[in-house]
């Protein structure tokens, strides 16, 4: 199993939207590194859902329910989506400031490559962020 973090502007698509919908395809990714990450995602991989822009915090946990396929929002075959399903909302959001302040998380992509919208996490980083929400 692999671990990931995806970012979304809550005004565009929030974790509450994912909960309401149950699942969705993760579209609109137009970055080659993020696309490569999506092509690596496997069914049942765990995914932290991060609200970007004003909130800048991890809000919930989701999982991959369908592996990559052609992005239905474009005819450009280079771009793919995966399907994500809501798993659980975190008890408390974990802010970017909290993550940056934690020495164990200093090397995660959210800190090093903040503009990347789909990024891998280690199991330890995933578990640490979830623990910080309690």
Over residues 6-10, mean pLDDT: 97
Band of the pLDDT at 51, cuts 50, 70, 90? very high
Over residues 22-48, mean pLDDT: 96
**Tokens in use for 42?**
């496997």
* 3-132: CATH architecture: Roll (3.10)
Write the CA distances from 134 to 77, 87, 90, 127, integer angstroms: 41, 16, 8, 11
Which pTM does this prediction carry?
A: 0.96
Over residues 108-130, mean pLDDT: 95
Task: Please tell me the predicted confidence (pLDDT) of residue 38.
Answer: 98
Q: What integer best gives the mean pLDDT of the chain? A: 97
Q: What is the DSSP string of 2-36?
A: -EEEEEE-TTTS-HHHHHHHSEEE------HHHHH
Over residues 37-49, mean pLDDT: 98
Task: Please tell me the predicted confidence (pLDDT) of residue 18.
Answer: 98
Task: Please tell me the predicted confidence (pLDDT) of residue 115.
Answer: 87
Over residues 24-48, mean pLDDT: 96
* Residue for token pair 């579209």: 27
């Amino acid at each position: 199993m692999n671990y990931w973090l995806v970012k979304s502007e809550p005004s565009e698509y929030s974790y509450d939207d994912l909960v309401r919908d149950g699942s969705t395809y993760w579209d609109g990714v137009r970055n080659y590194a993020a696309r490569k990450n999506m092509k690596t995602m496997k069914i049942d991989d765990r995914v932290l859902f991060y609200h970007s822009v004003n909130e800048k915090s991890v809000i919930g946990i989701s999982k991959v329910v369908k592996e990559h396929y052609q992005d239905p929002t474009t005819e450009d075959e280079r771009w793919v989506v995966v399907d994500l399903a809501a798993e659980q909302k975190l008890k408390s959001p974990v802010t970017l400031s909290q993550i940056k302040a934690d020495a164990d998380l200093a090397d995660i992509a959210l800190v090093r490559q903040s503009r990347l919208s789909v990024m891998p996490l280690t199991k330890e980083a995933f578990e640490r962020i979830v623990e910080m929400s309690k």
